[in-house]
């Protein structure tokens, strides 16, 4: 009798253990499937003026909208990695690129490129980089009306220039834009029609950028603005203010509608 009770107890414990480990394995498989739902691949695209632009394509199957992420100087596409993943989690695809002369985007038809040696005109030619990525995304099935821009510092000015030239784009997030970065002057691109399309992020003590706020207030007074009381610039703002990620997502959800 005692043997039977012990045997039954042993069987019950064994069943519980098998069930528990089966549950863990199933959960792990489901988590892995969810984690790998998006596809991150390295891409290489050539611009109209013969520069090879390297980027990371965070493609999310079934996504309707895609962001072009443009870093500040002297950073590269890696500085946009966290943002790209957060965009994925919220249903958006993204492409983070190395601007010409940065990161791996150093090859061109005229030889190796290094942004440290660039003239202002060569920095301004970075607009061709965004155009090339935008064209790539159009071929991927994301028409202009399904694209948005997020740029930091000089990347913000480039984003403003691109959306001013492509009216079908519905949203651009400008992190630490400046009045004049390497000849990219916001007065040349800003107009009243962009007021409802842009989110602008500043730090009050970041003089290089904050002085441009007067221009935005004059031309686009109702544009959405986020102002922090510190001296952080570009993507460094995220380090102290992770809440900005959610503010960006909220803005995109509001603007990216049919």
% of the chain exceeding 70 in pLDDT: 85
Say if residue 68's pLDDT is above 50.
yes
Neighbours of 205 (CB within 10 A): 13
Domain ranges of the chain: 1-36, 38-255
Least confident of 13-22, 97-106, 180-189: 13-22
pTM above 0.95, yes or no: no
Q: What is the pLDDT of residue 258?
A: 72
* Structure confidence by residue, pLDDT tens digits, 77-91: 999 999 999 999 999
Least confident of 21-35, 158-172, 185-199: 21-35
Report residue 101's pLDDT band, with 50, 70 and 90 as the boundaries.
very high
CB atoms within 10 A of CB 42: 10
Q: What is the pLDDT of residue 13?
A: 67
Query: Band of the pLDDT at 168, cuts 50, 70, 90?
Result: very high
249 band by pLDDT with thresholds 50, 70 and 90: very high
Give the CATH fold of the 38-255 domain.
Rossmann fold (3.40.50)
Q: How far is 178 from 198, CA to CA, in rounded Å?
A: 15
Buried b (16+ CB within 10 A) or exposed e, 158-197: bbbbbbbeeeebbbbbbbbbbbebbebbbeebbeeebeeb
Q: According to the model, what pLDDT value does residue 25 have?
A: 39
């Amino acid at each position: 009798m005692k043997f039977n009770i012990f045997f039954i107890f042993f069987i019950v414990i064994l069943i519980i253990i098998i069930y528990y480990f089966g549950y863990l394995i199933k959960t792990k498989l489901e988590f892995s499937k969810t984690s790998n739902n998006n596809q991150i691949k390295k891409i290489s695209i050539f611009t109209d003026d013969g520069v090879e632009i390297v980027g990371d394509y965070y493609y999310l199957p079934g996504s309707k909208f895609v962001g072009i992420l443009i870093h500040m100087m002297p950073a590269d596409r890696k500085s946009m990695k966290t943002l790209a993943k957060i965009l994925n989690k919220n249903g958006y695809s993204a492409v983070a690129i190395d601007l010409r002369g940065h990161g791996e985007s150093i090859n061109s038809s005229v030889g190796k490129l290094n942004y440290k040696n660039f003239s202002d005109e060569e920095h301004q030619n970075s607009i061709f980089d965004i155009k090339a990525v935008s064209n790539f995304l159009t071929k991927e099935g994301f028409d202009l009306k399904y694209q948005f821009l997020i740029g930091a510092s000089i990347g913000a000015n480039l984003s403003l220039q691109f959306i001013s030239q492509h009216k079908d784009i519905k949203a651009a997030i400008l992190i630490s834009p400046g009045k004049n970065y390497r000849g990219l002057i916001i007065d040349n691109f800003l107009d009243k029609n962009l007021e409802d399309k842009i989110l602008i992020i500043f730090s009050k003590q970041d003089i290089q950028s904050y002085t441009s706020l007067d221009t935005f207030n004059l031309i686009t007074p109702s544009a959405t603005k986020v102002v922090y009381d510190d001296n952080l610039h570009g993507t460094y703002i995220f380090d102290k203010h992770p809440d900005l990620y959610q503010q960006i997502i909220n803005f995109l959800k509001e603007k990216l509608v049919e």
